Structure 1
Amino acid sequence: MTTPVTRPTSRDVARTAGVSQATVSLVLGEKWRGRVSERTAGQVREAARSLGYRPNLAARNLRLGSTRTALLVVPALTNEFFARVYAGAATVAAEHGFGVVLYPSPAGVGPAPSPFDAARTALDGVIASSMAVEAPAAIHGSHLPLVMLDSDPAAPGSAACVNLDIADGMRQVAAHVLGLGHRAVLHLASAVASWTFDVRAGALARAVSEVPGAGLVTVRSELAVSAGREAVVAALAGSGPRPTAIVCDDDILAAGACKALRRLGLRVPEDVSVTGFDDLALATAVEPELTTVHLPAEHVGERGMGALLAVLEGREPAPRDLPVRLVVRGSTAPPPR
């Protein structure tokens, strides 16, 4: 007959450490500072480790009125960037005893059915990408703390905002392309209505306008390789002067631009230079490899989760934008003579 295995309890930990159960609760609940000595806290943690003790999280959360769960809302996981954001958020969450529930939009980029009505009582807060455009409206009035990623810091409704320095990234792209001598620039812009793409467009337009003789034409495309390809083919079929550089809002569109140029018998970068944005794995999978802006996606997730934890603890999150950097590869060169 097999003897049933019994799990150690907090009483067992208290007995082994020579302290009260209340002390065990304070230490394992990370509320011991100022109440229990460092030495006693160490004894409790060592006793818990030696016994293989695991707290009953469901019971603890019920007592505290907290689930220690955050919801991460992203437009889709088909984009590698958001998978990396999730990885960063989940790492920080785990370090603080939190879990992260991922909610990607079933339709990809754009509005998603609201998860908040059903999940509100099971969440402590929400982290949402600005590209999941209905997140702020869906959470309005739910009383859940909301941290927005890559979003207009002046927009109402969020407790905190974590941004990349997107404008500086596009300024770096423009300085590189214009510095190579390009004056006829095509902007292959995202058709998605989002703050981050508006910032890219504004920064590029300002940079081009400051260079004598430089001109900018903008065409919009859905965020897909095929859509980017067709948009560039249509743009180059027009009667105007052919651009010598195509600046794309992301690497996916840049891959489409490269395919369009090959279809038209043009070489990258000998005839036309192409730049991307994001530095996805795709950027080094195409040939030539893409000049693009590296975005630290994991750090976005880490900072987003850190900001939510700060809000939950009543602290003010640091409002500093994360820096980005231009990575120059083989898809850019001086314009043809």
Structure 2
Amino acid sequence: MTEQAARPTSRDVARVAGVSQATVSLVLGGKWRGRVSERTAGLVRDSARDLGYRPNLAARSLRLGRTRTALLVVPALTHEFFARVYTGAAEVAAEHDFGVVLYPSPAGVGPAKDPFGSARTALDGVIASSMATDALSALRDADLPLVMLDSDPAGPGAAARVNLDIADGMRQVMAHLLGLGHRRFAHLSSAVASWTFDVRRDAVTRAVQGVPDATVRTVPAPLEVDAARRAVERTLTAPGPRPTALVCDGDILAAGACKAVRRLGLRVPEDISVTGFDDLALATAVEPELTTVRLPAEEVGARGMSALLAVLDGRGPETGDLPVTLVPRGSTAPVAVADRP
């Protein structure tokens, strides 16, 4: 029987790379920027890979007093956006030998319970997506750093925030529709009480201010296809001039809106244009495909995890809203001649 080869150590990596063990620790711990050159960092990483070196995470965690685990709180697991946020966060976490535990709040965007007997002993920090800060009081009481994603920038208690430029996304939608000649709008707004949906509503309202003959009717609906369909059916059969464009807070609402239009014997986009928000897989599964706003969900998660790591290391996290992009597709068209003001 041959003797099992000894596991390579950081000293072995330092010897092969021709650097000190301290340099190896900086590079493999992700704290080398500004202290070690890019070339040296690459040399250390290459040497570690060639040797098959793996850090002793248990020992390092004890030394740092960390669990190397973050909790990602989301309102639901059924929405594709949150799955993509998790993917982005988990990728960055893995690069730094962290794990991410995904936790759907039992109350949606409402108060989230502490899923652990003691979050402080189980976690290094919390990332919360599309939640209100005051909904996380149970976790904040654990005195853990909190990073908020897609949340009110004026809210209290967060160590860092990562936001999308939601208002600009809705401004792009409205500019697109106004440019196509639409002036009568129905805004199918999410009935969920959340900062991100408040921003969308305000952006729609502001977009038509000062535009002659432009009107907006706000129609709240739960974030469900059938609920959206029923709300739009009521709106399109109500007395008065019919809207020529349906502006929806999400692609799921837009799918319901398209069903309502067809059930009433109308056509998308010839009779009524429909827009979504999020650019989920659903947006290209419906016919015609949805004009919508693409949100870089993976980047939101990645930046959220990076922000938490920065806070844990005593560094300032990256700032600035992430840009979003309008994706015009077949569900929007110029307003019909008969409907022009």
What is the TM-score when the length of structure 1 is the normalising length? 0.88
Could you say which residue in structure 1 is the equivalent of 2:276?
276
SS at match of 1:226: helix
Distance in 2 (CA, whole Å) between partners of 1:11 and 1:298 is 33
Distance in 2 (CA, whole Å) between partners of 1:103 and 1:75 is 9
Could you say which residue in structure 1 is the equivalent of 2:168?
168
Distance in 1 (CA, whole Å) between partners of 2:245 and 2:110 is 29
Change (3 A) 1:14 1:130: closer
Question: What is the aligned-residue identity percentage?
Answer: 74
After TM superposition, the structure 1 stretch with the greater mean CA deviation from structure 2, 22-31 or 219-228, is 22-31
SS at match of 1:279: coil
After TM superposition, the structure 1 stretch with the greater mean CA deviation from structure 2, 40-49 or 271-280, is 40-49
Q: Does residue 246 of structure 2 align to residue 242 of structure 1?
A: no
How far residue 235 of structure 1 moved from its aligned partner, in angstroms, is: 1.9
Could you say which residue in structure 2 is the equivalent of 1:65?
65
Contact 1:89 1:100 in 2 (8 A): yes
How far residue 286 of structure 1 moved from its aligned partner, in angstroms, is: 0.4
Distance in 2 (CA, whole Å) between partners of 1:34 and 1:305 is 21
Distance in 2 (CA, whole Å) between partners of 1:62 and 1:166 is 41
Could you say which residue in structure 2 is the equivalent of 1:80?
80
What is the TM-score when the length of structure 2 is the normalising length? 0.87
Change (3 A) 1:297 1:29: closer
Q: Which runs of 5+ in 1 are unaligned?
A: none
Contact 2:133 2:155 in 1 (8 A): no
Residues 1-337 of structure 1 aligned to structure 2 (within 5 Å): 5=4, 8=7, 10=9, 13=12, 17=16, 28-29=28-29, 48-106=48-106, 108=108, 110-115=110-115, 117-131=117-131, 135-336=135-336, 337=338
How far residue 7 of structure 1 moved from its aligned partner, in angstroms, is: 5.3
Distance in 2 (CA, whole Å) between partners of 1:138 and 1:150 is 20
* CA distances 1:97-137 after superposition (whole Å, capped 9, x unpaired): 22211112345554443326533212111111123676432
Q: What count of residue pairs does the alignment treat as equivalent?
A: 336
Contact 1:74 1:132 in 2 (8 A): no
SS at match of 2:157: coil
SS at match of 1:153: coil
How far residue 282 of structure 1 moved from its aligned partner, in angstroms, is: 0.6
How far residue 88 of structure 1 moved from its aligned partner, in angstroms, is: 1.1
Distance in 1 (CA, whole Å) between partners of 2:169 and 2:326 is 7
Contact 1:223 1:252 in 2 (8 A): yes
How far residue 34 of structure 1 moved from its aligned partner, in angstroms, is: 9.1
SS at match of 2:220: strand
SS at match of 2:301: helix
SS at match of 2:60: helix
After TM superposition, the structure 1 stretch with the greater mean CA deviation from structure 2, 55-64 or 130-139, is 130-139
Contact 1:75 1:104 in 2 (8 A): yes
* CA distances 1:66-116 after superposition (whole Å, capped 9, x unpaired): 122211111122111111111111122222222211112345554443326
Distance in 2 (CA, whole Å) between partners of 1:162 and 1:322 is 8
Change (3 A) 1:78 1:160: same
Q: Which runs of 5+ in 2 are unaligned?
A: none
Contact 1:124 1:144 in 2 (8 A): yes
Change (3 A) 1:52 1:250: same
SS at match of 2:118: helix
Contact 2:164 2:323 in 1 (8 A): yes
SS at match of 1:147: strand
After TM superposition, the structure 1 stretch with the greater mean CA deviation from structure 2, 233-242 or 116-125, is 116-125
* CA distances 1:180-220 after superposition (whole Å, capped 9, x unpaired): 11111100000000000000000100112221111111111
Distance in 1 (CA, whole Å) between partners of 2:99 and 2:196 is 27
How far residue 48 of structure 1 moved from its aligned partner, in angstroms, is: 4.5
How far residue 11 of structure 1 moved from its aligned partner, in angstroms, is: 7.9
Contact 1:73 1:135 in 2 (8 A): no
Contact 1:128 1:135 in 2 (8 A): no
SS at match of 1:186: strand
Distance in 2 (CA, whole Å) between partners of 1:251 and 1:212 is 29
Change (3 A) 1:14 1:164: closer
Distance in 1 (CA, whole Å) between partners of 2:136 and 2:176 is 36
How far residue 64 of structure 1 moved from its aligned partner, in angstroms, is: 1.3
Letter in 2 for 1:254: A
SS at match of 1:288: coil
